[in-house]
Amino acid sequence: MNNKEFSPKARLFMTVFLFLCLVAGFLLAGKFEREIGTLEELRFWEKFLTERGDSLRESPSPVEKIPEEERTVSDLILLGARREVKNGTRYDASYEAISFPGGDVSPDRGACTDVVVRAFRNAGFDLQQLIHEDMTENFYLYPQKWGLNAPDANIDHRRVPNQICFFKRYGTSLPLEVDEALEDWQRGDVVYWRFPNGRDHCGIISDRTGRDGRPLVIHNAGSAREEDCLLKWEIVGHFRFTGNEMNQEEQAALPDGFVRCS
């Protein structure tokens, strides 16, 4: 039986077809190799960035590197505020009946003012008790905005105007300007803002700084966070309170007659 011969045109077609198959095979092999390399690279960078991010989050701040026995009141205030961030405290400013002294709402929630209250408790100062006792003796020196005729230990210390009044009376009032007085913004300071809608807000100055050298702030607006937001809103108050502003007798008795807070 004679072998069937292919025409020159058929042989040319088969040759071109086989050549294209070989080219396609090489291309597919190269593409597969590149994809494997790309996947490996992606996994490498994903692992690197994850580990790097964890490292950055876990790297101690300047205050956290200080031995516990050497930490100051300001350091303890800051660390108390940072605990709110680590806890992931969600924002909730609801009124709640709490114990006195040392009363608090559920630790998984709180208002911006609760960041301040909890921060100061970490340093040994109970703003609930301090503000309530001062308001008991000097009720009409405090803002009269809520239609009350007597102090309410459940909520007074959780209101921004009352905190501002207390710090005006017993703390150190500091500059509101930031870039012009950057050295005056120290860790553990308390900052108060006013939002464009007129609502009040507050936070604790951090020992970490942003890209521009301004300190970060720990505050709760939706959830507790530490971020570069010092100039985000209008600053209406800047205070420092370490207990040195009051002697032990004053801390116990909180005499009146200092400053009237409007």
* Type of residue numbered 26: F
* Mean pLDDT along residues 148-169: 98
pLDDT at residue 203, rounded to an integer: 98
Q: Could you report the per-residue pLDDT of 105-137, keeping only the tens digit for each? A: 999 999 999 999 999 999 999 999 999 999 999
Task: Say whether pLDDT at 258 is over 60.
Answer: no
Query: Which residue is associated with the tokens 């459940």?
Result: 154
Three-state SS letters, 85-115 = HHHCCEECCCCCCCCCCCCCCCCCEECHHHH
Task: Say whether pLDDT at 142 is over 90.
Answer: yes
Cβ atoms of 46 and 156 closer than 8 Å: no
pLDDT at residue 251, rounded to an integer: 52
pTM of the model: 0.75
| Residue (of 167, 157, 142) closest to 238 by Cα position | 167
- Distance CA(126)–CA(138), nearest Å, equals 18
- Using 50, 70 and 90 to split pLDDT, how confident is the model at 14? confident
- Using 50, 70 and 90 to split pLDDT, how confident is the model at 22? confident
